[in-house]
Structure 1
């Protein structure tokens, strides 16, 4: 007999132990690190070598710029778990149980549409029209090679795509990369998760939205300080 304060193991809901799939843009990460290095180099040089108001202006500029660089390059990520999708955008964190996701759309941007009709953009999974065009060209060339009986075998080197896809040349001489752009493959994986987990009992709940005050607060502080310094020449 169990007490009212405890549940038997059989009556407790199953807990998912699977790790979330994390999707981030490698190009954004590299660009963010380079920008931070440049801002840090220029800022600390002005702080140490500047005269008069220059160090204060440099400090205010760094307080304003660094959070923005982090917000738009290093921060964005998508965490796809068995029960929910968590979207970390520059200024917000959105949590959507799979049961509340109506669809995942890909156009000029990738976005999630909730059942309430609200749309949330996936900043860390940007659309690349150039990558789509290259993937379509690979697909068309492979189909043409197959229809023509193939060509001479060639040996190629594979390359790592933006989200982990491989490239190179296949035995027919046509590029052996994926037939879809990397970000489109990410969206396919998310749609597969939605289809598989959308009706699960543990994947139900409410959509949550949290503002990233850890980014907004220092950005506003830097902007206010810079405005005061510029206004009091």
Structure 2
């Protein structure tokens, strides 16, 4: 067997192994979304046989809500003929709406003319749910901390502020956007350098909780600075309460 035939066989087997992957929804389609090939996982996802799907337009299988926007995107992408990605809601055979992340690759002939598209889809529903839970948890935490009287802030090791609650923001009269990346010593006192007796700075240097009372401009502050570490013991930042 010639070397060219061996290479061709190798790529054919590689493609078949990828196409048979049960976690990948693979299809090929014309510019009007008519399906010309689907793998077994794609057909099973829709609860149909492979030959039942061939000749159908996959846009008819998409959720009706985003179809108009989807069609506009497809026409726009078809004009430029470049690879593109999408995440779309799709009604699966189990009756549930799944979110599929699609990697779409245009296929051209030897003359450079667009023949069709090949798409590989990955079900990212669980990832989207996890991201939504994280966002909801962050919103809940924000709500809780914004409704306490104590001043709470989270600093990077360089003392720049990542997050602060409503009490902190109101005290220094800044909004959330102006807060991030700024430093407490600049916001509170207009300083260019940290305060000499700063508990947060001590917590960064000593890598342990620091509890102190300090006086600034006639006000006595009771401050607790808690260093935050990752699983490897690296310092991520410091939370301070006052």
TM-score w.r.t. the length of structure 2 is 0.21
Structure showing greater radius of gyration is: 2
The structure that is helix-richer by fraction is: 1
TM-score w.r.t. the length of structure 1 is 0.22
The structure that is strand-richer by fraction is: 2
